[in-house]
């Protein structure tokens, strides 16, 4: 088991003048080479894991250790090949125990140092092995989206003229546990605007939290000209919102005007309390329910098809207890936030303020964040892992 020393540095207080904001910036560096610093984030990750719950608390009995009927052997084999491709020192910094806190130390922002082996230090053969592992776990669409986000991070480096903080290859992989068709294990991709947590127990898979987004969302020039992402998530959400009746839209809309960022479940937000809000899906017509499930599948479908089907069945089982919420306008030029929230899935989509290569005060369609989580304690497969430990000596 690796030791993780935490060290606080900086305690500075800025004075309040007019509209400026005082902030205490706490930086924390983990006690391993390449450790990760942050504003309170790593400290929040040390809090006991609860998961996304409502104010009524965790809902039990939602997740069971049982056969999915979909083999995980392909991802196990490809993960082993990836690990075999690494040097001893690379493997040492890439592998962690299956229950390590490293799962929770991902960050969708750009200025963090990551754990694991980076694509920027991999040989071409190692990159191929890493993408092969991801390909066995993701759908073709999910893999392409991931690669395109990485490329657009390269476009952002060009636009900002900052190749130290942004770049196509500034993404890191860690392996938690030992790849196995019986023992629990998983892998994590961590970097700016794309984070994937992939937990495996037998033939069961939990792929969450997943963060996907980009700034910009389209490369209009440069090395990756023509690359574009997050348009289906954007357009399907709007199309569904526009399909609702006036009364349904009234129920769905939380706030009419969107002036800031609204995502709630990004980095270090494992334990948020979030009550259901918006339009309850039991009021949808049959056609509307089909359209809603198509919207959900846009996110779940980033997984390999077999396990995506298993997850979609789980979502459909709780459809009548699922809520759809909206913030902002609902025209072709609007910026908006929407949320899908059920006992077994949380999806957030958000048009964000610009950060780079310049900052803006208003949200824009050029900066998008999305998050997918498994509420009620099963992010990172933690509820399945808990049950596994109860059934097997640890």
Confidence band of 394 (pLDDT split at 50, 70, 90): low
Helices (H) and strands (E) in the chain, counts: 10, 14
Question: Which residue range(s) make up the domain with 244?
Answer: 231-376
- CB of 65 closer than 8 Å to CB of 388: yes
Collapsing DSSP states into helix, strand and coil, what is residue 211?
strand
Evaluate whether residue 305 is within a structural domain.
yes
CA 142 to CA 231: how far, in whole Å?
14
Residue 169 lies in a domain: no
CA angle 354, 148, 315 (to 5 degrees): 90
* Integer Cα distance of 302 and 155 in angstroms: 23
Write phi, then psi, for 230 (nearest 5 degrees): 65, 15
Give the dihedral sign, CA 302/303/308/311.
Answer: negative
- Phi, psi at 66, each rounded to 5°: -155, 160
With vertex at residue 260, the alpha carbon angle to CA 257 and CA 262, rounded to the nearest 5 degrees, is 95
Query: For 75, phi and psi rounded to 5 degrees?
Result: -75, -30
Q: How far is CA 50 from CA 64, 190, 279, 374, 378, in A?
A: 17, 22, 26, 12, 9
Residue 18 pLDDT more than 60?
no
Mean pLDDT of 7-21: 32
Nearest to 357 by CA among 208, 226, 165: 165
**Short-list 55, 75, 62, CA closest to 179:** 75
Which residues are 212's β-sheet partners? 194, 370
What whole-number percentage of the chain has pLDDT above 90? 86
pLDDT in the model for residue 42: 77
pLDDT band at 113 (very low <50, low <70, confident <90, very high): confident
pLDDT for the residue 30? 28
Nearest to 217 by CA among 100, 80, 119, 363: 363
The arithmetic mean of pLDDT across residues 250-274, rounded, is 97
Q: How many domains does the chain have?
A: 1
The pTM of the whole model exceeds 0.85: yes
> What does the pLDDT read at residue 44?
84
pLDDT the model gives residue 39: 52
What's the CA gap between 117 and 20, in Å, rounded? Answer: 39
Q: Grade residue 24 by pLDDT with cuts at 50, 70 and 90.
A: very low
What's the pLDDT tens digit per position in 177-186?
Answer: 999 999 999 9
Give a yes or no: residue 245 inside a domain. Answer: yes
Q: What percent of the chain has pLDDT over 70?
A: 90
Tell me how long the chain is: 394
What is the pLDDT at residue 171?
97
| 8 Å CB contact between 199 and 184 | yes
Q: How distant, in Å, are the alpha carbons of 8, 40, 269 from that of 47?
A: 16, 11, 11
């Amino acid at each position: 088991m690796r030791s993780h020393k935490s060290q606080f540095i900086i305690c500075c207080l800025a004075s309040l003048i007019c509209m400026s904001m005082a902030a205490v910036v706490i930086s924390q560096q983990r006690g391993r080479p390449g450790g990760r610093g942050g504003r309170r984030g790593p400290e929040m990750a040390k809090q006991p894991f609860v998961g996304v719950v409502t104010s009524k608390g965790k809902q039990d009995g939602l997740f069971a250790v049982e056969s999915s009927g979909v083999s995980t052997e392909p991802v196990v084999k490809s993960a082993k090949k990836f690990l075999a491709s690494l040097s001893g020192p690379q493997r040492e910094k890439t592998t962690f125990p299956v229950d390590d806190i490293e799962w929770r130390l991902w960050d969708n922002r750009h200025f963090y140092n990551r754990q694991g082996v980076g694509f920027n230090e991999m040989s071409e053969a190692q990159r191929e092995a890493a993408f092969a592992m991801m390909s066995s776990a993701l759908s073709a669409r999910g893999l392409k989206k991931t690669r395109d986000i990485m490329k657009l991070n390269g476009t952002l480096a060009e636009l900002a003229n900052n190749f130290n903080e942004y770049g196509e290859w500034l993404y890191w992989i860690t392996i938690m546990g030992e790849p196995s068709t019986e023992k629990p294990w998983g892998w994590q991709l961590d970097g700016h605007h794309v984070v994937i947590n992939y937990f495996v127990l037998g033939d069961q898979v939990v792929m969450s939290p997943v963060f996907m987004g980009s700034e910009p969302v389209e490369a209009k020039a440069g090395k990756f000209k023509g690359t574009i992402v997050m348009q289906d998530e954007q357009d399907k959400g709007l199309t569904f919102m526009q399909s609702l009746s006036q009364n349904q839209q009234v129920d769905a809309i939380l706030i009419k005007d969107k002036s800031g960022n609204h995502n709630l479940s990004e980095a270090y937000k494992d334990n948020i309390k979030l009550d259901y809000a918006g339009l309850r899906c039991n009021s949808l017509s049959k056609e509307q329910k089909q359209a809603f499930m198509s919207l959900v599948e846009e996110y779940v479908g980033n997984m390999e098809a077999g396990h995506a089907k298993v997850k979609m069945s789980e979502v459909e089982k709780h459809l009548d207890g699922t809520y759809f919420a909206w913030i902002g306008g609902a025209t072709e030029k609007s910026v908006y936030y929407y949320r899908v929230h059920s006992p077994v899935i949380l999806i957030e989509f958000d048009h964000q303020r610009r950060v780079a290569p310049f900052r803006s005060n208003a949200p824009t369609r050029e900066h998008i964040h999305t998050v997918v989580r498994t509420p009620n304690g099963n992010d990172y497969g933690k509820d399945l892992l808990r049950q596994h430990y109860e059934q097997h000596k640890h």
